Amino acid sequence: MLIIPEFFNEMNIMPNKCGTSKQFKSIQKMKRTIALLTGILLFFVTSNNSQPSYVNSIGSAVIASIDPSKDWKFGVALWTFHTVNFPESLDKVDSAGLKYIEPNTFHKAGPELKDSLISQLSAAGIEKLKSLIEKKGLKCESIYIVGDSTIQSWIKQFEIAKEFGVKYVTTEPPLNMWNTLIVSLVCMESK
């Protein structure tokens, strides 16, 4: 007989509370399965505290060959410096010794561009920002974009990402817009 830990019985589900006897049996079976899997997991966690030697030797070789200063791309999301404008945020990144940035389209572009949001800039304005990034020796491989409740606003944001020439886009469109947005972006790419 399987002994079910007390915390699984706290639900105290009885046939008259969950509907049918079939539902009750299904829940009891689920509780037993969870208890069994928990026991198996605990057994392996407590009894297997060392890795096989081949894992250690391969893992050590891989770890020894990784040089974070050469192999990793350390950077910063410019949201970190959202209290200052774009050029000032680039100064802060540069002073920290980082090379990679992730701007966002709701950052103020700076006095030269009338402190407009990046999302409101023309192609010429985007080029000025790209020039500032290049002058600092920084790289922009990703951008965080936001749109509003229309597909057109989101498409405009992706066009800005394309103008920046990024490899990656970080974004959070509403779930109900995903399908339409994806189709729109595929159509935009095929043009």
Encode pLDDT of 135-190 as tens digits.
Answer: 999 999 999 999 888 999 999 999 999 999 999 999 999 889 888 888 888 887 77
Report the domain count for the chain.
Answer: 2
Same domain for 40 and 125, yes or no, is: no
The span from the CA of 153 to the CA of 50, in Å, is 53
Q: Residues 49-68: what's their mean pLDDT?
A: 59
- Tell me the CA distances in angstroms from 18 to 7, 9, 33, 167, one per residue in order: 19, 14, 19, 51
| pLDDT of res. 112 | 95
Same domain for 172 and 99, yes or no, is: yes
In terms of residue numbers, what domain contains 32? 6-49
Alpha-helical (H) ranges within the chain are: 6-9, 15-18, 21-47, 53-65, 68-71, 86-96, 123-135, 151-164, 178-190
| pLDDT of res. 24 | 63
How does residue 71 score in pLDDT terms, banded at 50, 70 and 90? confident
Residue at 61 is within a domain:
no
Same domain for 17 and 111, yes or no, is: no
The span from the CA of 100 to the CA of 136, in Å, is 11
Same domain for 35 and 102, yes or no, is: no
6-44 pLDDT, tens digit per residue, is 444 444 444 444 455 666 676 777 778 877 777 777 766
Same domain for 41 and 79, yes or no, is: no
| pLDDT of res. 127 | 97
Residue at 77 is within a domain:
yes
How does residue 61 score in pLDDT terms, banded at 50, 70 and 90? low
The span from the CA of 29 to the CA of 42, in Å, is 20
Structure tokens at 112: 């030269």
| pLDDT of res. 108 | 97
The span from the CA of 111 to the CA of 128, in Å, is 12
Question: What angle is formed at CA 98 by the lines to CA 133 and CA 87, rounded to 5 degrees?
Answer: 35
| pLDDT of res. 8 | 41
| pLDDT of res. 88 | 96
| pLDDT of res. 56 | 52
Same domain for 35 and 107, yes or no, is: no
Residue at 22 is within a domain:
yes
What is the DSSP secondary structure assignment for residue 3, as one 8-state letter?
Answer: P
Q: Residues 72-89: what's their mean pLDDT?
A: 93
Residue at 119 is within a domain:
yes
86-144 pLDDT, tens digit per residue, is 999 999 998 888 899 999 999 999 999 999 999 999 999 999 999 999 999 999 999 99
